[in-house]
Structure 1
Amino acid sequence: MTALIFLALMILGVPVFAVLVLSSMVYIGGGGHAALFDNLLVQLNGGLGNFSLLAIPLFIIAGELMNECGITTRLIALSRVLVGSVRGGLAYVNILANAMMAAIIGSAIAQTAVMTRIMVPEMERAGYPKADAAAMTCAGGLLGPIIPPSMPLIIFAVLAQVPVADMLISGLVPGLIMAASFLVLAGVIGFRRNYPRSEAYARAEALRVVVRALPALLVPLAIVATIVGGFGSPTEAAASAALVAILIGAFVYRELDLRRLPAVLERAGRNTAMVLAIVAASAVFGWVIIYGRMPARLAELLTGLTDNKYVFLLVVMLALLVLGTLIDGIAALIITVPILLPIATGVYGLDPVHLGIVVTLTLVVGLLTPPVGAALYVASGISGVRPIPLFRAVLPYIAVSVALLLVLCFLPILSTVLIR
């Protein structure tokens, strides 16, 4: 019954946060668990009680300030110079700009919100299918939780008691491989669908674009220095990014108009409300799943299946791919890591850093898959592309991400090469 109600609400176009909450209420009421209604609002509010979530509005504000100050446009222009005149050039620019933004924002949801608002209208004007533009933009947002700084990797490091710096640095190589894979895929799709050719800059203009973009690169440097250098948390790094963006916009680019700050904060507030509503509803949905003891039963099943660590990892990946479609990635990390870590390290002798990359990237894929798929719904809400057509367009990027997962599973050195 709960599954049917869920599907019906989705088909009717009910907002995803309402679908999750209403489906949870149907499960509670229909399963004879009426006493749980007393804690429903507590769980809904508790979904926003994680301090790390404070980084999301701050990173969104930083992104909005970057847009207002001209920093984002200069990074995109730098990507255009790097790409040159090729067929489907804006597709490559989209992925490269997402990779640069990943080193600034650190959150797939926040990055997807910022980049969808910028890139999708521009690509649509250039003649790209709107669904394709939104798909590659939200797929590029997956780089946010992998390339440092990354909130999921920091949360995993805290849960697993692994040095935060090691965990962040370990995401660099997988993140760059994922970006390169997306570039190849965008090129293949662009060739098959005859994407328009981008215009090349003249040499003198290209040099000016590079020089103008150099101050914008101070924003990711400020974030990396804050987190890796141990000077602050991701939330404080987001605040420092916003401060650097203000200073660059006011004194270097001189494009920051303080009279527009209320409008900037209003846009950030709307995007934050949309994102955090989904996060809160995901917490309720996840709470219902936990009440059914799904994670505990899953752990019991895994330990009895195999004594081979790679088979164990494959089973974990498959289970987390399913789990990632049901609950928010941060909630899934908090639920599963305490269960899986002792088994992975104690029974199978896996490196916790390697496990962290595999678990995080697996759950990140869930950001693009229904029924929760927070990044998918954020891109859908901002771009206006309905979730089902968008999901179809993003499927090739999901397939590439799963293929990368398999490579990381059998080649742990890709996760640990920079820290071992």
Structure 2
Amino acid sequence: MADLLVVGLLFLGTLLVLYAIGVPIAVAMGFTSVIVMLSPYGGGAINYEVVSKQLLYGANSFTLLAVPFYLLLGRLMNRMGMTQRIFRLANALVGQFKGGIAHVNIVASMLFSGMSGIAIADASGLGRIEYAAMREQGYDKDISLGVTGASSIIGPIIPPSVPAIIYALLAGVSVGDLFLAGIVPGILLGLFLMATVVIIVHRRGYEPGNEFELDELWASLKGALTAILTPVIVVGGIISGVFSATEAGAIAIIYVLLIGVFQYGELTVAGIVDELRNGMVETFSLVFIVAAASLYGYVALQLRLPFLLTDAITSVTTNPVLIVCLLVVLLLIVGTFMETVAAISILVPVFMPILNTTGIDPTYFGIVMILTLMLGLLTPPFGVILFVLEKVTDATLEEVMRAIVPYYVPIILLLLLIMLQPKIALFVPSLG
């Protein structure tokens, strides 16, 4: 235990200090790796060949190629005005129920998940529209903020998902399986949030929304059909085995380009080039993190940190459910102050020996990890989505924090349910 504390303090403490003073996470991981190498525990010298190879091989992955595809896919679909079309469809589907616009908020986020896969993109893009729509229909500020923030975390769970790609790469599991594992939990999260909305709007006496109109449903469906077919193409191709998750991203981009140019007429050469440029910047940032995480993970293995942590945890309990609970508590703490991809990049190499030793399915745990870190994005003091909502709405940060609190309940309930019943996550992958 003493060795674990010393090594953990050197390995994680240095990283957290650098991160806390504002050093970018990829640079912080690189500096920490060098500092550990120079310490007595790391051999006292830098092996430049190892450093260069780990950085190179960490980024040289066919799986990682999926990241720029899905980032560009989301950008192109946003450029085409898919957000408004999806919101209109969601309104036609569930807007007639009591608390209708709040349900629209959630359903729109579920449909929007195929366009992004990143919670912050949902909160900043669709969130602005959702919040304004709820306020215009007389909803209180707190419920408008709470529903908008909570629904934004559905995107990274329902495929496609950038955090799922990064996890799959580092954990050595199939991206396709992890995509499929997120379908049922993502849908359940949407339903749990909608149930919470039903309770809140009933207690506050909100009136039903717009009357159901078949003509409006048909018109909005025609307008959004090509958008919602995008995730169908991705998931359907993966389930049928026609193409891999990486290939699905490329095919989806070709599909969206054709629709945007020939059907909508809203994609121009200049617009495509602009999205390519911005997508390249985002891709470089993520790939840099993964490359640095490869070096960081190598140093962790040299320090035997994963094995020391495994021994420490298994000395307390060997029950897989209790071990998952312990890891979730750690993730909840980390998720409050660290961005999702960074947390996955740092912790997956450390967790994998624990999962392998105790027989915990890494695909199932991937969903648990992503959902837990999504909850962290909504948790003070550093939850990123809280700051995003402050920027895109007229609310203060304190108002956003208070508004989110009731929506922790359905998220935590779903997390507990998946932890106790892994088959919820593994059901769809088992069909393949």
The letter for the 2-side match of 1:128 is: Y
Say yes or no: does 1:399 pair with 2:413.
Answer: no
The letter for the 2-side match of 1:339 is: P
Once the 2 structures are TM-superposed, how far is the Cα of residue 83 of structure 1 from its aligned partner?
Answer: 0.3
Once the 2 structures are TM-superposed, how far is the Cα of residue 194 of structure 1 from its aligned partner?
Answer: 4.7
**Compared CA separation, residues 351 and 294, structure 1 to 2 (3 A):** closer
Say yes or no: does 1:336 pair with 2:350.
Answer: yes
Q: Tell me the distance in 1 between the aligned counterparts of 2:145 and 2:278.
A: 19
* Aligned counterpart for 1:147 among listed residues 149, 153, 158: 158
Once the 2 structures are TM-superposed, how far is the Cα of residue 58 of structure 1 from its aligned partner?
Answer: 5.6
Say yes or no: does 1:304 pair with 2:315.
Answer: yes
Q: Structure 1, residues 354-382: CA drift from partner, whole Å, max 9, x if none?
A: 33332332233222224553343334343
Of 402-411 and 119-128, more deviation after overlay is shown by 119-128
Q: Tell me the distance in 2 between the aligned counterparts of 1:342 and 1:107.
A: 28
Gaps of at least 5 residues in structure 2 are 1-13, 45-51
Once the 2 structures are TM-superposed, how far is the Cα of residue 173 of structure 1 from its aligned partner?
Answer: 1.3
Which residue of structure 1 lines up, in the alignment, with residue 383 of structure 2?
Answer: 373
Whether the aligned pair in 1 keeps the contact of 2:321 and 2:420 (CA below 8 Å) is yes
Of 325-334 and 357-366, more deviation after overlay is shown by 325-334
TM-score, length basis structure 2: 0.72
Aligned residue pairs: how many?
406
3-state SS of paired residue (1:315)? helix
The letter for the 2-side match of 1:383 is: T
Whether the aligned pair in 1 keeps the contact of 2:89 and 2:224 (CA below 8 Å) is yes
**Compared CA separation, residues 219 and 141, structure 1 to 2 (3 A):** same
* Aligned counterpart for 1:218 among listed residues 217, 229, 247: 229
Q: Which residues of 2 match residues 152-301 of structure 1 at below 5 A?
A: 152-195=163-206, 197-225=208-236, 237-238=248-249, 240-256=251-267, 298-301=309-312
Q: Tell me the distance in 2 between the aligned counterparts of 1:49 and 1:196.
A: 53
Which residue of structure 2 lines up, in the alignment, with residue 38 of structure 1?
Answer: none
The letter for the 2-side match of 1:395 is: V
Q: Tell me the distance in 2 between the aligned counterparts of 1:307 and 1:19.
A: 33
TM-score, length basis structure 1: 0.74
**Compared CA separation, residues 334 and 374, structure 1 to 2 (3 A):** farther
Once the 2 structures are TM-superposed, how far is the Cα of residue 97 of structure 1 from its aligned partner?
Answer: 1.0
Which residue of structure 2 lines up, in the alignment, with residue 12 of structure 1?
Answer: none
Percent sequence identity over matched residues? Answer: 33
Gaps of at least 5 residues in structure 1 are 10-15, 36-41
Q: Tell me the distance in 1 between the aligned counterparts of 2:23 and 2:401.
A: 18
Whether the aligned pair in 2 keeps the contact of 1:69 and 1:245 (CA below 8 Å) is no
Say yes or no: does 1:360 pair with 2:370.
Answer: yes
Which residue of structure 2 lines up, in the alignment, with residue 124 of structure 1?
Answer: 135
Q: Tell me the distance in 1 between the aligned counterparts of 2:243 and 2:388.
A: 28
Of 323-332 and 88-97, more deviation after overlay is shown by 323-332
3-state SS of paired residue (2:216)? helix
Q: Tell me the distance in 2 between the aligned counterparts of 1:384 and 1:295.
A: 45
